[in-house]
Amino acid sequence: MTRFAAPIAEQIWDMKYRLKEADGTPIDLTVEDSWRRIARALAEVEAEPAVWEERFYAALEDFKYLPAGRITAGAGTDRSVTLFNCFVMGTVPDSMGGIFDMLKEAALTMQQGGGIGYDFSTIRPKGASVTGVAADASGPLSFMDVWDAMCRTIMSAGSRRGAMMATMRCDHPDIEDFITAKEDPARLRNFNVSVLVTDPFMEAVKADKSWDLVFDGKVYHTVEARDLWNKIMRGTYDYAEPGVIFIDRINQMNNLSYCEEIAATNPCGEQPLPPYGACLLGSINLARLVKDPFEDGADLDEGQLEELVATAVRMMDNVVDASRFPLPQQAEEAANKRRIGLGVTGLADALLMVGLRYGSEEAARQTERWLHRIARAAYLASVQLAKEKGAFPLFDAKKYLATGHMQQMDEDVRAEIAEHGIRNALLTSIAPTGTISLYAGNVSSGIEPVFAYSYTRKVLQKDGSRTEEEVVDYAVQMWRDKFGDTPLPDHFVNAQTLAPLDHVRMQAAAQKWIDSSISKTINCPEDISFEAFKDVYMEAWDTGCKGCTTYRPNDVTGSVLTVSESSEKVPETDSGADVVYISEPLDRPQSLEGHTYKLKWPDSEHAIYITVNDVVMNGNRRPFEVFINSKNMEHYAWTVALTRMISAVFRRGGDVSFVVEELKAVFDPRGGAWMQGKYVPSILAAIGGVIERHLVNIGFIEGEGMGLKSDPHIEAQVVGERPRGPACPSCGSYDMRMIEGCMTCGSCGQSKCG
């Protein structure tokens, strides 16, 4: 019998986590092989590896403990990748040489698959004088554009695109430009952006006072605090960015406040980190630990929970020693503090199983109790590791126990730490779990509510036919298995039916026992008033959250999955969409139609010939393969590589128009050329332009710089013929959702945040 609870779970494993040869031949024949690979790799650093391999395997078995994707895909392989998810880069110096040194470090980190964060507050504002060159500074936003261009050219390990977070302090002179930067739809597309909001600023907002914008001790401007706050709120109300990070609260509550200062987070915000800080992630699957689900005595098996947490902490601690690091500074930082981020997934499903309505006061109290239990177990397990292997090198008992978070820790745990030390400086974090939640059987993600109880994916098969596949939430499927078609109880709620302040209540309840932070999206209805929207952020501040991310669907941000309701007010199965998703490449027909284009690059002796062949599916043409040829042998290697890579992408199906945008964004440091009155930054960009014209000509995309052409066989629609939003760049599904602070595909789990 298969271990997978749903077909989509097995597909995610095969696409994302299954170890394969370079030619695609599976090495992990079963998911048990994947668990064994991970368990063996993480047990190698133990004195008794055979003993711990079995315990680690037992934790992984049946998806009870879910290491983050980079660990699941990378542990026990020979790949040159990092097993750490999150990095914050070093402090960006306020000098040209230092800035570009940081750019190089960022590229090296992204190349190995890490999501990275930066604080751009250290760069002098636009218009400030630059000593010695008789010029004015261009400001941090101009350098963010350089970072953004770099990110477009780097593909992370496992085909994941690099993800970045940019932060700026609320008192930086360029803060207003930072807030509005992403209103330009072509700018900073590879960044999430958040404002570092300080306690004095929030006090000034509440008291309606003025606010100085300062750099290096000089006041550049003075604004009204409420006006600046309203500008932040208006940006996220209309564009879903910037986010808000309560930076002083983060530093006050940090277990390491005595030896580090935090000014940035990783891309999804759950890991506030110091310069060169790194953290790895993993989640306890609460949905697998409920005894007697939906019965009167249903409850979490707390004995099993504590044992599982202890094993997970040990596994994650071992990752610190087993992982590669892009930079030596990151390795040193990780070794000195041994930070880990153990979180949860399946919380909403677990609450449903024990009869609690997500967002209610009782659900919040239960969430706090469960996370308190996890925190205790994690800290005591780390103390046990300290007895056995030693405390983290920068541990100072007196200073550590005097920090904000540790002052609220249970006295018996504090006493154990005082006597024996602790192995890991920080232990808990709630990260985005979109992909691993699908892999675990479509359990609810992180601490988010259930997004939709079920929806239908239409899967395009190799022969061009389509099959329908229902994707059902884990708890809902369990209810169906136990009670058949009995209507769902009243306490079943989802993200579309929850009030925003219910979301805040759950985030605040979870934050009390999380020593790092939480990645969560507070879904707001499209018609929420601006004043009520601002109240969400103020409530997050007032109730102790460390940050706040909201999503309000509109014409700019895109709509979301629609869940209709029956007369019993129970969400029905979504009507589904024409999702173009191909798990295996299409077979090549015997003959194909296509066109060949001649491209003459200035100053080049030989022309390049580009042939694009198409396949006809359901009466529509779509690109199938590309051939690039030239007599210039200097071009031979890269033209062959480009031919193979682009053709491989085209044969996977979905919205492949992103290939054009990636090629057009490549710039040649030796300079581009003017072609037909337009500056083209590189020969690769010129090839991208040729392919784009072909896609327009066959009707696959609307026009130059535009997305998929509206077509019933290409674009997915929901009830009312309203597009769901942007297509997934991986599988083509119009099922992109804002989950845990990041646009994530509900069909294949693709997320730019990793």
How many whole angstroms separate alpha carbon 240 and alpha carbon 700?
29
Tell me if residue 268 is catalytic. yes
Q: Of 527, 480, 522, 488, which is closest to residue 502 (Cα–Cα)?
A: 522
Q: What is the 3-state composition of the chain as percent helix, strand, coil, each rounded to the nearest 5?
A: 40, 20, 40
Please pick, among 10, 53, 270, 625, the residue that the annotation labels catalytic.
270
List 86, 268, 728, 742, catalytic entry: 268
- The span from the CA of 442 to the CA of 453, in Å, is 10
* Options 85, 254, 255, 266, the catalytic residue: 266
Lookup result for tokens 């604004």: 223
Cα distances from 9 to residues 31, 208, 435, 467, in angstroms, run 11, 51, 9, 17
Contact in structure between 17 and 159 (CB atoms under 8 Å): no
Q: How does DSSP classify residue 128?
A: -
Q: 3-class SS at 362?
A: helix
Annotated active-site residue 728? The verdict is no
H or E stretch covering 227: helix 225-239
- For residue 573, with 0-12 CB atoms within 10 Å meaning exposed, 13-18 middle and 19 or more buried, which class applies? middle
Q: Token pair for residue 377?
A: 């177990």
Q: State the number of CA atoms in the 13 A half-sphere of 642 facing the CB.
A: 24
Q: How far apart are CA 522 and CA 553, in angstroms?
A: 12
Strand pairing report for 522-523 and 550-551: parallel
Q: Residue 571 in contact with residue 452, Cβ under 8 Å?
A: yes
> Which tokens hold the place of 315?
């596994």
CA–CA separation, 594 vs 704, rounded Å?
20
Q: What is the DSSP letter of 620?
A: E
Q: Is 86 a catalytic residue?
A: no
In sequence order, the 6+-apart residues with CB closer than 8 A to the CB of 577 are 456, 457, 458, 716, 717, 718, 724, 733, 734, 735
Which amino acid is residue 345, in one-letter code? T
Phi–psi pair at 384, nearest 5 degrees: -60, -40
* Contact (CB, 8 A) for 128 and 144: no
Q: Which residues are catalytic?
A: 266, 268, 270
